[in-house]
Structures are given as C-alpha cells and as structure tokens.
Amino acid sequence: MPDKKKVLIINRRAPYGRSNARDSLDVALTCGVFEMPISILFADDGVFQLIGNHQAGDIGQKNLSANLAALPMYDIDQLFVCTESLNTHGLTFDSLEHSATQLDQTAIQQLIQDHDVVLTF
C-alpha cells in the first residue's frame, strides 16, 4: 500500500456566518478516521475559530469550539496559526483557547510545500 498522502487544511473563514469552518472539521475528522496525516492552518478570518468560550446555542448552531477541542482524540494535533493574521485582528496568542503553532509567511510557504494535498475552506 502506498504511503498515505499528507493533507493540509487551510481555514480562512470566520466561524458560524458561513459553513466553511464546520465543513473543514468534517473533512479533517473523516481524514482522521482513515488515519491520514492532517495539518490545519488558521489564517485571515479563520483565526477567529481559535477564540474560546463560544456559546452558539442562541444562534441555533453547535459549538465549534468543542469540536476543535476534540481533534486530538482523532490524532489531529498539528495545528498552526498565521502570526500576521493574529496581528491584523489584534489577537494575542494568549487570548486563544486552542493552542496552535505560530507561523510567519515563509513558514507557511514551507508548510504548503511539505504537504501532498491542500484543501482551503
């Protein structure tokens, strides 16, 4: 059996307003079930997904924050966040509930090169 492809998921959209964030989680968890190596990068509005204390019940949605917290159970622990995007939105690393490795533009280029498949949401 050939080596499993390394998959990088790039999250660029804010949670809840569109379905992108939830869709990307579905793909990540599906890949996790098949034990494919997954990395997830949060950039642009996607970094808002890493803010904690979500209470989405009043807008009729499920809490995305809880799903993110469950990723390690699927052996998905390669989470990255774009430093430039954090700075743009005035968010500090400490204000994030979910820990992710900070990457600059050069490191993001390398991250993309290191993966076989890149899916953007």
Partner 1 sequence: MALHTLNQPPGNIECLKRCLSALSEGDALLLIEDGVLASLPAYAAHYDQIKVNISLYALQADLAARGLNDLKDNRFIVVDDGGFVDLACEHDKVVSWY
Q: Does 48 bind partner 1 (CB under 8 A)?
A: yes
Query: Would you say 23 or 44 has its CB closer to partner 1?
Result: 44
Query: Would you say 61 or 105 has its CB closer to partner 1?
Result: 61
Q: Does 72 bind partner 1 (CB under 8 A)?
A: no
Return the structure tokens found at 37.
């190596």
Q: Does 22 bind partner 1 (CB under 8 A)?
A: no
Query: Closest approach of Cβ 50 to partner 1, in Å?
Result: 10
Q: Does 107 bind partner 1 (CB under 8 A)?
A: no
10 Å Cβ neighbour count for 40? 26
10 Å Cβ neighbour count for 100? 21
Among 4, 30, 35, 52, contact with partner 1 (rule: CB under 8 A): 52
Q: Does 90 bind partner 1 (CB under 8 A)?
A: yes
Query: Closest approach of Cβ 101 to partner 1, in Å?
Result: 21
Q: Does 92 bind partner 1 (CB under 8 A)?
A: no
